[in-house]
Amino acid sequence: MKKIVSIVLALTMVFALAIPALASSYTDVADGAWYAEAVEALREKEIMNGVGNGKFGPDETFTRAQLATVLYRMAGSPAVTGEDSFTDTEGNTWYSDAVLWASQNEVVNGMGNGLFGTNAPATQEQLTVMLWRDAGSYKLDREKYASTEGVENLASDWAFDAVVWAKAEALIADLDAYAPKQAASRAQVADMVYRYMKLKEQFASVDAVSGATQKADEGGKVLVAYFSATNNTANIAKHIADATGATLYEIKPETPYTSADLNYSDSSTRATREQNDAAARPAISGSVENMANYDVVFLGYPIWWGQAPKILYTFVESYSFDGKTVIPFCTSGSSGIGSSAANLQKSAPEANWLAGNRFSGGASRDSVVSWINGLNLNLEVK
């Protein structure tokens, strides 16, 4: 567990102090521009370069691949091995190591459906969240640091804590100009990354990257993620969450399944077609907030044609499960868990998969608790 260091917020406000103007290396960066120092510092450190022809392009957007590369360079471009799980990235490119590093270190989770969004413009809240995750995902006291009309309320739910943190740490140069869901300009990226680097320098001698709060001990957090088309699996998931105090997350399809979609006797139904298509990955609505914080993941689903619904593969392939313990569970009228868990495991082989269990949809809470106790997870079960 990281050592916790509490340092007054006033220390970080040094970033807002005026600095002497310096000559810019780029023809389109005025010496007195609010981002000029950041641009020059990142150029000197070979972390962020210009766009060519002596220009920096301060108003241009920045792609997610470029952002991952900047953060990777800031980390010292460490050696990486393996392959990322994204379907829209390519090997042996200028961004390959950066995306792999960002994925393995859970700085980025992707955009869902197995996509990284290589060429998609990075939004201001995505930039903020990546820095926040790199820092350690500090959660600040919302009553103390969040306001009812602050910029954090303009952000997506999954970005709220990150924006609160960035605001408190003075990483956002102009709160009035901060638009979380809009694309970040190159000037904004440079300025925010530079401010974050300065923040890291202040805490270089301690195991923390926040002066606003102490980081809560989030080790051992439990997630119950489940997909349920008829509420049978939902019932079991709720028993697990209630017994362990886990976070409950429903895997919701972007296009909900209808009763007609689930007609087992019709070979042309949506569910049948998906189950017969090895490449099917139904889109998911929403994502898990702070997936990196969970050490144990219970993964629930109904049995469809002897296997897990293909939307489970979408979910598993959307996150890094490195170092996590995954416990599958399923519901069915008669079929056992069979090979469904083993096949899911192939999509996240880096996880520690425990043997799964099949329940009837109406299984009692006591039977679920008995199963959990037999897993030897060292959880406090109520």
Q: What pLDDT sits at residue 206?
A: 60
Q: Name which of 81-90, 217-226, 236-245, 264-273 the model is least confident about.
A: 217-226
Please tell me the CATH code under which domain 221-373 is placed.
3.40.50.360
Q: What pLDDT sits at residue 215?
A: 37
- DSSP notation for 45-88: TTSS---BTTB--TTSB-BHHHHHHHHHHHTT-----S----SS
| Whole-angstrom distance, CA of residue 282 vs CA of residue 259 | 17
Query: What is the pLDDT confidence band of residue 145, given thresholds at 50, 70 and 90?
Result: confident
**Interval 253-277 mean pLDDT:** 92
3-state secondary structure of 297: strand
In this structure, the chain runs to a length of: 382
Q: What is the pLDDT of residues 338-361, one digit of tens each?
A: 999 999 999 999 999 999 999 998
Domain chopping of the chain, boundaries: 9-62+121-202, 221-373
The share of the chain scoring above pLDDT 70, in percent, equals 90
Question: Nearest-CA neighbor of 108 among 139, 169, 64, 63?
Answer: 64
Q: How far is CA 285 from CA 37, 250, 258, 302, 310, in A?
A: 40, 10, 16, 19, 14
Residue 130 has pLDDT above 50, yes or no: yes
Q: What pLDDT sits at residue 1?
A: 33
Q: What is the pLDDT of residues 156-180, one digit of tens each?
A: 988 999 999 999 889 999 999 999 9
Residue 134 has pLDDT above 50, yes or no: yes
Q: Which residues contact 254 (CB under 8 A, 6 or more apart)?
A: 282, 283, 284, 285
| Whole-angstrom distance, CA of residue 255 vs CA of residue 285 | 8
- DSSP notation for 348-368: -TTSEEPP-EEE-TT--HHHH
Q: What is the pLDDT of residues 57-76, one digit of tens each?
A: 999 999 999 999 999 999 99
Question: Nearest-CA neighbor of 179 among 222, 138, 122, 223?
Answer: 122
Residue 216 has pLDDT above 50, yes or no: no
DSSP letter assigned to residue 219: T
**Interval 123-141 mean pLDDT:** 90
Q: Where is pLDDT greater, at 90 or 19?
A: 90
